Structure 1
Amino acid sequence: MSDITLSDVGMMFDIGHRKITALRGIDAVLPSGSFTALIGPSGCGKSTLLRLIADVLAPTSGEIRIGDHAPDAARKRHEIGFVFQDPTLLPWRSVVENIRLPVEVAGQPAARQPEELVELVGLKGFEQARPAQLSGGMQQRVAIARALALSPKVLLMDEPFGALDEITRQKMNIELLNIWRETGTTAVLVTHSISEAVFMADRVLVLSANPGQVADRIDIDLPRPRALDLMQDPAFHAHENAVRAALFSGERTAA
């Protein structure tokens, strides 16, 4: 099982002669195989929380568990995949070679062949293309495939589609949901888009700022699989309004 359990998680940074509290008292359980969106104002600690789960940073208080393991153990077991806003592909390597990179670094057999992942993310026929020959959306598909190369149990994504135009972004949302459904990972997505959070997630955690705290948790009980016409449904708008209200409430509380 790959539940993510956050227990009273806090994070402080030393900046000059000051201590800044980025996160305080984060409590949440993200069930195995679920899709969670993190949303909140800039500077509320969304990306910091993602990095704590990934073991890029260590919390200064509280505890994080991925299944039965601490994040460092899960990372060492290659159970965590991370997708950044910038695809960060190596420009001299082909699509297949970029996807293969985590396998080479880990020095272990591939859980899934790069060619299989190319097909999974819809890039069949572009196996030998270089990043400069791909659109922004295609590059992000490569980044997602690379994150899945070792078949992680957890997939963490920090605004992976933030730089894309709205049409491409919505297409990528559909593609990502298809990939998530096929792989069965526990997914966590940082986003600034209310509609994206509602469309993608089973639950939305709304963070307030100064310091970052969970202002609200909104369960999204919309049916799956989801198609873009769902965005016209009154129930979808009701969930958007609930997230929006929580965001503005959190801002008033922080003020």
Structure 2
Amino acid sequence: MTAVLDGKVALVTGGSRGIGEAVALRLAEDGADVALTYRDGAERAAEVVDKARALGRRAWAVRADGADASAVREAVDRAAAEFGRLDVVVNNAGIGVLGPLEGLRPADVDRVLQVNVRAPFLVCQAAVRHLGEGGRIINIGSCMAERAAFGGGSLYALSKTALIGLTGSLARELGPRGITVNLVHPGPIDTDMNPADGPSADLQRSLTALGRYGQPWEVAATVAHLAGDGGRYITGAAISVDGGFAA
């Protein structure tokens, strides 16, 4: 049986760990060849590449710091050149700087907005030169853009809320070209950045309707749906995979 993404090429930013790793491997399971970017941890990125190749897919990783505009654009073009095409783009790379408003430095603001807002914009800008009819752009947001459940998240929430406007506007602009653009808002997900046994885990768990952390594969399943046949008529949507955090 032909896999749903057979013959497609996907680029996942921040694909060496956590949600990004789960997304890259799920897309590979569904038949896509996968390119991924990473900032640190070349060994982790190489492991994801090896896992994707073990699934019978081509895979490739490139270092690109989201705060480096040139590196971000170059990574997209290099991925398209490496595989000869580009069909699915997942803007997953992001950072979080949390803390009281008074303690946030201008340097914190600059880096968070560079990585979480400017980089996805630049990835989209570079990718549309390669995406054709049926192309998919999937941005990874956050439940904190949907609900301010606790203090200290103003900068991170600001950056992820910006993706709502970007997603809707690009869906409208790129729709006539047959390219869909959607946004996935993960809730508390058990990753290195936000472990289910971390200091704030009990609070975050209590804020969900299901009373538990999610797993990276649960976010990846929704991304895969949007990237596959099931996502053909979905665009401009923001889908929460948050266990009811925003309910």
Q: TM-score, normalised by structure 2?
A: 0.37
More contact order relative to length (CA 8 Å, sep ≥ 6): 1
Name whichever structure is richer in strand by fraction. 1
Larger radius of gyration: 1
